Amino acid sequence: MTIPTTERIARLNDHCRRGLDPSARIMVTHNCLARLSGDGEGIAEVLAQAELLAAVRRYAFKPGDGPERDFGAFDLQDQRILFKIDYYDMALEFGSEDPADASITRRVLTVMLAEDY
């Protein structure tokens, strides 16, 4: 049985979001990290980042969130957080020609405050 393209992309996105894709890149906006860490440095920033990524990993998609599971929104520490997965070629220079093909696609997961979007 062949898996539909949209479902292949969704599964690859889930793999990325859960931190299981070694070729993926995870980006957190400075504003988001600063707000969650209380503008702290060192351990406060590390703890904020860990809490943020744990929330992204356990995010439960709803039927209206889209079939590719590439975007989500949730609240954390009274902040509205968004995450988005984009698809690039392996050199991160251009968009991917086929996001359903993990061998030619590098995913970039960006986590941000809603106001950063």
Summarize pLDDT for 52-101 with one digit per residue, the tens. 999 999 999 988 888 999 999 999 999 999 999 999 999 999 999 999 99
Provide the 10 A C-beta neighbour count for residue 13. Answer: 22
Q: Per DSSP, what are the bridge partners of residue 85?
A: 109
- Into how many domains does the chain fold? 1
Looking at residue 20, what is its pLDDT?
96
Return d(Cα 73, Cα 95) in angstroms, integer.
Answer: 23
Whole domain around residue 81: which residue ranges? Answer: 5-116
pTM exceeds 0.85:
yes
Question: Residue 65 gets which letter from DSSP?
Answer: G
